[in-house]
Structure formats: structure tokens, C-alpha cells
Amino acid sequence: MKPLIIANWKMNKSVNESLSFFNQIIDPLSKINSVTTVICPPFTSLSELNKSIAGTNIKLGAQNIYFENNGAYTGEISTSMLKELCSYVIVGHSERRTLFNESDLEINMKLKAVINEGLTPILCIGESIESRTNGNANQVIGEQITKGLEKIASINNLVIAYEPIWAIGTGKSASSEIAQEMSVIIRSKIHELYGVMSEKIPILYGGSVNSENIKDFVSKDDINGALVGSASLDPKSFISIVSESQIQT
């Protein structure tokens, strides 16, 4: 499977800053065709970046959506609006689950909306440090998958990102062994629900990924790429992460 590297900029970069970043990565990344690269900027930068990616191998994603298509939902953005601007959407990031109280039910509705619109959802799952210490990590992950994907018949486009909460933004990534072990558990859960489709689902690792540790992760059999937060904000660091990911090809 072609490695997939997704930049999650979170609430960082103005439109001008986004364009300046893009101008710095375009040449180096245009030479790397063996990795799929996706940038998820804030909503405000999507329109301008969408013009800039024309003719390049870089794809765009959004960091969130609302599940209704349109109507009186002040401040929200729907999948039909995003469809003109990007092809991926992050759903259920742990920051949204915890800071904005997003439930598995809401995440399930968002996934349905994204899939119905023909966009590719990146479903984020991951356990807290307490769940890991108590030995409940597998159960937490299993429930996030089952509830998140409830009554979703087709997962052709699905991407899953395993992001243990204790590794996000902490500078302490999971070991590549733990990430591989959890990816196997995730893939077997998907197999239980969808059969052989599980072989085609990219499973990414996320949580303090940087240019030094990326190779460890992508060289594991069941890890197909990474969701990168802070290390994706600096053009040089991001270029080197994408470049180091060519290992699997």
C-alpha cells in the first residue's frame, strides 16, 4: 500500500502563512510520487490552497465537519461545501472528542455524511493513558470502531488513524511495536465487521511523529502512514517526513 502522510495543522496558520508553506513544499514534494501527501489546514485556508494544489500531487483535507447538509446551524460547515475544496475529512480527533465532547454517535453521523458525499474520512481513534494502564486499550479501540462505524455498509474510502491520546502533542510517541500491535488489533476488528476489505484500509499512526521516528513507523507491516501534528507545521520537517516515508515502496 502506498504510504499516506497527512498533516493536521489544527488551529495554526493564516491564509498567507498557509500559502507560504505550500510554496516551500511544492517543488520537493512534486518529486515524491510514491507517497500520498494530504494537508489539512484550517477551513479558512482551504479555498486558496485548493487553487495552489491544481496540477500537483498534493491533496487537501478538512479537520472537521457538521453532519447536516445545510440549514440553520450557525458556525458549521457541511460536506457538500467541502466537496468543492478538498477530498479528505478528519473525523473524531481526540481533541474534538475531549474538548468539544464529541460522542461516538456524533462521529458516526459525521462519517456517514462524509462517505455519502464521496469524500474520504480519516477516523481517529485512540485510548487514554488510564485505559492503557488499566489494560483496557483494546476494548476502547474496539468500541470506538464499532460505534463509529455503526450501520455504515461500505468502507471503500475509509482511513483509520490510531492516535493514543498520551502520545499526542507530548513529544513522547508510542513505540513502533505498540503502534504495530494496535494496528493489527484494529485491522482484525475491521475484518470482523467487513471481511477482506480490512486488507485495503490504510491504518496510520499519529502522536508525536517527527522526521526521526517516521521511518520506524512506516516500516511496520500494518502501519500505512502517519497523521502528523506539530511536526507538519514546519516545511523542512514536513518534507523530510514525507521523504523518509518512501521506505515501503
Distance CA 85, CA 50 (A): 6
Of the candidates 77, 80, 94, the one whose C-alpha atom is nearest the C-alpha of residue 42 is 77
C-alpha cell at 72: 440553520
- From residue 214 to residue 233, the character string flagging contacts with ligand PGA as x (rule: CB under 6 A) and all else as - is -------------xxxxx--
Of 158-217, binders to ligand PGA (CB under 6 A) are: 163, 168-169, 206-209
With CB under 6 A as the contact rule, the residue among 8, 18, 36, 64 that binds ligand PGA is 8
Active-site residue (options: 143, 163, 177, 191): 163
78 SS3 class? strand
Shortest Cβ 185–ligand PGA spacing (Å): 20
- Does 106 bind ligand PGA (CB under 6 A)? Our answer is no
Shortest Cβ 176–ligand PGA spacing (Å): 15
Shortest Cβ 195–ligand PGA spacing (Å): 29
93 is an active site residue: yes
Query: What is the sign, positive or negative, of the torsion defined by CA atoms of 112, 108, 231, 178?
Result: negative
Active-site residue (options: 93, 102, 127, 244): 93
Closer residue to ligand PGA in complex, CB, 118/169: 169
Of 34-73, binders to ligand PGA (CB under 6 A) are: none
Shortest Cβ 208–ligand PGA spacing (Å): 4
Closer residue to ligand PGA in complex, CB, 180/208: 208
- Does 118 bind ligand PGA (CB under 6 A)? Our answer is no
Distance CA 95, CA 67 (A): 18
Distance CA 215, CA 9 (A): 21
191 is an active site residue: no
Are 68 and 77 a contacting pair, CB within 8 Å?
no
Consecutive H or E run containing 36: strand 36-40
Shortest Cβ 161–ligand PGA spacing (Å): 7
- Does 98 bind ligand PGA (CB under 6 A)? Our answer is no
Residues listed for the chain: 249
161 SS3 class? strand
Closer residue to ligand PGA in complex, CB, 194/231: 231
Of the candidates 2, 6, 28, the one whose C-alpha atom is nearest the C-alpha of residue 227 is 6
- Does 245 bind ligand PGA (CB under 6 A)? Our answer is no
Distance CA 150, CA 8 (A): 26
CA 114 from chain centre, in angstroms, equals 14
- Active site residues per annotation: 93, 163
Q: Which residues of this chain interact with ligand PGA, rule CB under 6 A?
A: 8, 163, 168-169, 206-209, 227-231
